[in-house]
Copies of this chain bind each other. A is one copy, B any other.
């Protein structure tokens, strides 16, 4: 068994000595106020043991990381039918790109682009009468922690500036790939992105993808083994926008980042690992989070490759 605790501590201390680059996401006013030097790590191993360091108990905004959860919910219900409305290919373009979407006639390349995640929200509105409740319940159950909530101030802040996402949604609406009212779909989208989690909660939530679709205690099945494999594959090829190739290359784990500064990565059969550091590089991924994960896989040789 790896001594994850020691390794995590070591890399954590090492990175504190390095200069921290990048900028806290500024386009969402509420996010801009976060302390840029926060830094937390939490790994849950296959025996559900926690190994954590730094600000791992402090909550931050989950942002795009939620896209994996909403996708899993939609995929669980619709299975392959889902792929009629969103693809599984990396896009080679930034997360909010319109040109690619226009080229593809309103079918987003993958569910982790903004457009793709908006389509998934539209799907959830069809599948569930109260999708907000379904999402938050799944998070709480997976984390075994009731203290996970929507953050209205952040959702409101994003809505007030979400013109680009409005443009994406209206374009898809014009192509017939959004069924509900655009305002309603985006309300759901901004709401699920606003959820607050800490590193432990996040790592626990993602254990179902380290455990081939089953809950950490092995009592529940969220996805079939084949579905879990496929979600992990999409994380690997599309989880970091147009830095996905670089993340696969440097880190070599399926993962997903959010502009709140969180990154979560899973080693199937082994662990789930959450890192949080708010400064983002120019691709919108946590600078220090990426550094941490690169060091971690170098040190442990725990990589899918």
Closest chain-B Cβ to A93's Cβ sits at a distance in Å of 7
Q: Using an 8 Å CB-CB cutoff, how does the interface string of A81-118 with B read, 1 for contact, 0 for none? A: 00000011111110001111111000001100000000
Closest to A161 in B: B174
Interface size class of A (residues with CB under 8 A): 35 or more
A249:B233 contact, CB within 8 angstroms: yes
Asked if A244 is an interface residue, CB under 8 A from chain B, the answer is yes
A147 at the interface (CB under 8 A from B): no
Report the copy number of this chain in the oligomer: 4
| Nearest CB in chain B to that of A246: its residue | B88
Are A163 and B170 in contact, with the CB atoms below 8 A? Answer: yes
State whether B100 touches A98 (Cβ < 8 A). Answer: no
* Complex: A243 Cα to B243 Cα, angstroms: 18
Q: Which residues from chain A sit less than 8 Å from chain B, CB to CB?
A: 87-93, 97-103, 109-110, 163-164, 166-171, 173-174, 182, 225-226, 228-230, 232-234, 236-238, 242-246, 248-250, 252, 254, 268, 297-298, 301, 303-305
Given contacts A89-B244, A90-B245, A98-B102, 10 further A-B contacts (CB under 8 A): A89-B243, A90-B90, A98-B171, A99-B103, A163-B173, A164-B174, A166-B173, A166-B182, A232-B252, A237-B237
